[in-house]
Amino acid sequence: MAIVRYEVVEHDGGWAYKVGDVLSETFRSHEAALKAATEAAARQTLAGNTDGIVYQDGDGQWHEELADGKDRPSTEVIDEP
């Protein structure tokens, strides 16, 4: 099972959380960024609807798949100020 890591980091004069190389908006305090990361991580684990998806890959080929709304990743929040 995939694990999505939310890491609280200093950013742009404040604090943010990042997933991979993607940063959230900037928060004024570490506590606010940690709270936002924890809430986002919790939402990530919620089951959704099973639905069809269509996407184009890097080679320009189109694909159709069925995305299982119950197939959710595990999450963790990394807080190392």
Extents of the domains making up the chain: 3-79
User: Which residue intervals of the chain are DSSP H helices?
Assistant: 30-44
pLDDT-derived band at 47, boundaries 50, 70, 90:
confident
Buried b (16+ CB within 10 A) or exposed e, 27-52: beeeeebbebbbebbeeeeeeeeeee
Quote the CA–CA distance of 11 and 17 in Å, as a whole number.
Answer: 9
pLDDT of residue 23: 96
User: What's the mean per-residue pLDDT of the chain?
Assistant: 93
User: In this model, does residue 6 exceed pLDDT 90?
Assistant: yes
User: In this model, does residue 81 exceed pLDDT 80?
Assistant: no
SS3 (DSSP) at 67: strand
Residue type present at position 49? N
pTM value?
0.75
Could you read off the pLDDT of 13-38 as tens digits, one per residue?
Answer: 999 999 999 999 999 999 999 999 99
